[in-house]
Structure 1
Amino acid sequence: MVVTRRGAALWARIDRPGAGNACSSAVMAGLEEWLAAADEPGIRVLVLTGTGRSFCAGADLAEATALLRDLTALRKFLDRGRRLVRAVMAAGVPTIAAVNGAAFGGGLELLLACDVAVAADTARIGDRHIAVGQVPGWGSSVLLPLAVGPAAARRLLIAGETWTGEDAARRGLVSEAVPAADLDRHVEALAERIAALDEAAVRRMLRVARPVVAADAWDREWTTLTEHVTALATEHATEHVVEPE
């Protein structure tokens, strides 16, 4: 994780390009520290982006798979990501996703959690949980319908489609798509514009502009995910039982 200060904005760049910038425990710890810094004097905006060709490919499947032997640890890993997404939604300052590349699974959920998302026109965005036989656990099923409407959300979730940055902008998933070479500069200017506004007024606006999600929607998603990973862990344990000779 690379965190840099640009004026009144604090940028976090997920820096695991060889792993698609997937959310490992280390990445989540870095994002938690970045969020905590919102309380520091002079920080008026938080910006999230990625290194290379990915924004974030989602949860680190290698780490999650390794935890199948310990269901409690796996649930804690997944719940940490869920709490992280909700912490982004509750940040004390506006959050901007600068979607430089692929945003799938948990990466889409981080995008959805931000107050504003701007994508490179070449970005590739989708839920894609279904492509690996999974269901969301960090908010896709809850937040996507609020962003693009129920019909488009169901299609993105069930068909596993991928949208370009331009598609995402046209459908309201991101506020706009810009040429990839201009993304950082464009987002930096947007962050400066927000930072120049009255701080108290911005905080009031966050209170009324952010989505209100019913608790049962979060619970339904989490219950579905945990039932599935419990079944996977049980299957994994059965496959690795060594029969006595």
Structure 2
Amino acid sequence: MSPVVVERRESALWARIDRPEAGNACGSEVMAGLEAWLDRAGEPGVGVLVLTGTGRSFCAGADLTEGTSLLADPPALKAFLERGRDLVRRLRSAGRPTIAAVNGAAYGGGLELLLACDIAVAARSARIGDRHVAVGQVPGWGSSAMLPAAVGPALARRLLITGETWTADEAAHRGLVSEVVDDAGLADRAAEIARAIGALDATAVTRMLKVARPLDDERAWAREADTLDEHIAHQINARRPR
């Protein structure tokens, strides 16, 4: 069974990360499921992509258990991290509008998945933050590159450096999500937005994506990747016997 449940709802193709026991952490199997979801974006009649999670987490981040297990195999760890970065960038450039229905905690890689989506709607109970520094890590899937465009440089630095989390209302006030709804109404609201987009002229929507999406600063993405490589090398060296 895939830990990502994909289903068609009218013109929207939904993906629901289904690892509630692990906070919907994004490991290799989740990545494979999300890649398969994106593979289907071009199917006839698909107008919108919607991403959400099961239970109390949208996505708690990259799977640290899997990542830590790969510290003894640096090439495999590098491939794991690059796969996650490629997934986020693929979502960010998807050929259909993307909606994040943020049902709960969105930390680390979960924040990066949120940032990659065009529209984010949050349940009132959601909690959102970068949180990499809180677990002794640095971002690798784009939060340092995407956050400044989403909330401005000052708030981006604050979120990255402090590791703090924001409530859904705080995230909306600061522009990280566009709307907050009661938990029970989240799926219906995401479906309503998807339905409204699906009723529009598909060609116009596709062209609108070209002008509505922020331009990426490739230097910021490269700086983040280089910094992650340095940090991983430090962690590997720290584990070696003295």
TM class by smaller structure: over 0.9
The whole-number CA distance in structure 2 between the counterparts of 1:166 and 1:50 is: 19
- Match in the other structure for 1:64: 67
Pairs within 5 Å for 1:175-186:
175-186=178-189
TM-score normalized with structure 1 length: 0.96
Residue 234 of structure 1 deviates from its aligned partner by 2.5
Deviations 1:101-160 (A, max 9, x none): 000000000000000000001100000000011111111111111000011111111111
Matched, 1:52 2:52: no
Aligned to 1:233: 236
Q: Secondary structure at the match of 2:55?
A: coil
Distance (Å, rounded) in 2 between the aligned partners of 1:226 and 1:195: 41
Question: What SS is found at the alignment partner of 1:92?
Answer: coil
The separation in 2 between residues aligned to 1:37 and 1:197, in whole angstroms, is 20
Q: How far, CA to CA, are the matches of 1:68 and 1:233 in structure 2?
A: 6
Secondary structure, counterpart of 2:150 in structure 1: helix
Q: Could you tell which deviates more after superposition, 59-68 or 223-232?
A: 223-232
Percent identity of equivalent pairs: 67
Secondary structure at 1:74's aligned position in 2?
helix
Match of 2:83 in 1: 80
Where do 1:198-217 residues align within 5 Å?
198-217=201-220
Matched, 1:154 2:151: no
Number of the residue aligned with 2:196: 193
RMSD: 0.8
Q: Distance in 1 between matches of 2:75 and 2:238?
A: 15
**Runs of 5+ consecutive residues of structure 1 not aligned to the other structure:** none
Deviation at 1:232, TM superposition (A): 1.0
- Within 5 Å, which residues of 2 pair with 1:1-245? 1-236=4-239, 238-239=240-241
CA distance in 2, matches of 1:215, 1:141: 12
Secondary structure of the residue aligned to 2:41 is helix
Q: Where does structure 1 differ by over 2 angstroms across 4 or more consecutive aligned residues?
A: none
Q: CA separation in 2, counterparts of 1:195 and 1:182?
A: 20
Identify unmatched segments of 5+ residues in structure 2: none
How many angstroms apart in 1 are the aligned matches of 2:49 and 2:9? Answer: 10
TM-score normalised according to structure 2 size: 0.97
Q: Secondary structure at the match of 1:68?
A: coil
Question: Matched residues in 2 for 1:197 and 1:120: separation?
Answer: 26
Q: Aligned-pair distance for 1:23?
A: 0.3
SS at match of 1:192: helix
Looking at structure 2, the residues matched to 122 and 50 of structure 1 have their Cα atoms a distance apart, in angstroms, of: 13
Partners in 2 of 1:226 and 1:94 — Cα distance? Answer: 32
